[in-house]
Chain A
Amino acid sequence: MAQSASRHRNLARRRIVGGLGVGLALLCAIIGAACLLIILGYVIVQGAGALNRDFLTQLPHPVGVPGGGVGNGILGTFIILGIATAMAIPIGLLTGIYLSLFGRGPIPEALRFLSDVLSGVPSIAIGLFAYAVLVAPFKHFSAFSASFAFMMLMLPLLVRTSEQAIRSVPQTVREGALALGMSNFRATVRIVIPTAMPAIITALLLAIARVIGETAPLLFTAFGSQFWESNPNRPMAVLALQVFTYAISPYPSWQAQAWGGALLLIGAVFVLSLGARLMLRRAMRGLEA
Chain B
Amino acid sequence: MSVITYRQALRDTLRAEMVRDENVLVMGEEIGVFEGSYKITEGLLKEFGPRRVKDTPIAEEGFVGAAIGAAMLGLRPVVELMTINFSLIAIDQIINHAAKIYGMFGGQTSVPMVIRTPGGGGQQLGATHSQNIELFYSFIPGLKVLAPSTPAEASSMLRAAIRDDDPVLFLENLGLYNSKGEVPEDYARPENDDVATIGRAAVTREGSDITLIGYSRMAMVATQVAEKLAEEDISVEVVDLRSLRPLDRQTFVDSVKKTGAAVICEDDWLTYGIGAEIAASIQEGAFDYLDAPVRRVAMAEVPMPYAKPLETAALPSIESISTAIKETLSAVGKRVG
- The answer to whether A and B belong to the same complex is no
By a beta-carbon cutoff of 8 Å, the part of chain B in contact with chain A is none
